[in-house]
Amino acid sequence: MVKLSIIVPFYNVHPYAPDALRSLRANARDDYEFILVDDCSTDGTTGLLERAARELPGARLLRRPQNGGIAAARNTGLDAARGEFITFLDGDDWLAPGYYPDLVAAIEELSCDFLRTDHVRCTGPARMVTRAPHGRRGAVLDPRDAILPAGRTTSVDYSYAWAGIYHRRLLDDGLLYFRNGLRTAEERPWIWRLHREATSFAVVGLLGVFYRRGVSSSLTQIGDERQLDFIRAFDLLIEETARDREADALLPKAVRTYCAIIHHHLVNDRYEPRIARKARELSAAALQRLPSALVSEALGSMDLERATRLRRLDRRDRFSRFSRFRRRPEVAA
């Protein structure tokens, strides 16, 4: 039986793919499979993957018929995964030798639905350890308990899919799939869904993923319209959370995070003027769809600069506009 499925999407990462592939080889075992997903690369990445499929033990190359973005590429890999456990890597990142055996051993010892890890953030030659934002390590916990509080960075803000390992039962229950079509922020509704619906998780201080920042081909470095998919991703997050049995407790955190991400995109200096205007329009409409009381609460907890910018964008009449996410009328104190 396959113990671990590693899903690695690749799209036009020819300068970086050799590092990723070498690090996979340094983690190979007879009971591991490496699912390499080519998302219609055009820069020579495909040739590297064809060679890896022949030479890397346990490797399979899957080619998507058309470019669909990382969410669709990961889903292609999930459809093919046979492992007891699942993990991810991005095609421009790399691993420490022997990391995956340690990762599998950790989740087997703790026997939980999913495990989250720290990682090393790499910007040029600089290296910085980034810790998963949960203080209790090596203990099995309820994933819901790691969502709140609203005003602090919590586990749902640490959304990197590759910073962890996941039991196959989550895949069989449909919890590991990403929303097809999302080009950015695809991990935000995904990590919230895991924390709302999985039964158990743990955090361990295990380092082994090297996350490469500042890659010119990365979507975070490109100011085109694909970046605006964050609106659809967070709308999905809000809609799903609003249906949760603890929506009243969880929505303040979801709304505050949405507001913070809107501000991040408003000050993105990589957008060309047309895209910047569209980002403002979509962001204003998004704020107006949210429950007014929760938006007011979120902005009241932010620093003056962010709150002021967002209030300028949110010019609605709060007493007359009905939000489709509001579950009951507001009652005056």
Give the pLDDT confidence of 152-180 residue by residue, as tens digits: 999 999 999 999 999 999 999 999 999 99
Output the CA–CA distances (angstroms, integers) from residue 158 to 139, 148, 153, 192, 206, in the order listed: 18, 13, 8, 10, 15
Three-state secondary-structure class, residue 9: strand
Q: 250: burial class by Cβ within 10 Å (0-12, 13-18, 19+)? A: buried
| Residue 85, C-beta contacts closer than 8 angstroms, at least 6 positions apart | 3, 4, 5, 104, 107, 165, 166, 167, 168
pLDDT of 328 strictly over 80? no
Beta strand ranges found along 76-183 (DSSP E): 85-88, 94-95, 114-117, 119-123, 126-130, 164-167
Model confidence at 320, pLDDT cuts 50, 70, 90, reads very low
Output the CA–CA distances (angstroms, integers) from residue 220 to 182, 217, 262, 268, 269, in the order listed: 14, 8, 15, 10, 12
Stated pTM of the model: 0.91
pLDDT of 333 strictly over 90? no
Q: 218: burial class by Cβ within 10 Å (0-12, 13-18, 19+)? A: middle
Give the pLDDT score at 316.
53
The one-letter amino acid code at 331 reads V
The one-letter amino acid code at 2 reads V
Each residue of 83-102: pLDDT tens digit?
A: 999 999 999 999 999 999 99
Phi first, then psi: give them for residue 22, nearest 5 degrees. -60, -40
Average pLDDT, the chain: 93
Model confidence at 270, pLDDT cuts 50, 70, 90, reads confident
Give the pLDDT score at 224.
81
Q: Which residue has tokens 């010892």?
A: 109
Average pLDDT over residues 218-239: 85
Each residue of 21-39: pLDDT tens digit?
A: 999 999 999 999 999 999 9
Three-state secondary-structure class, residue 268: coil
pLDDT of 222 strictly over 80? no
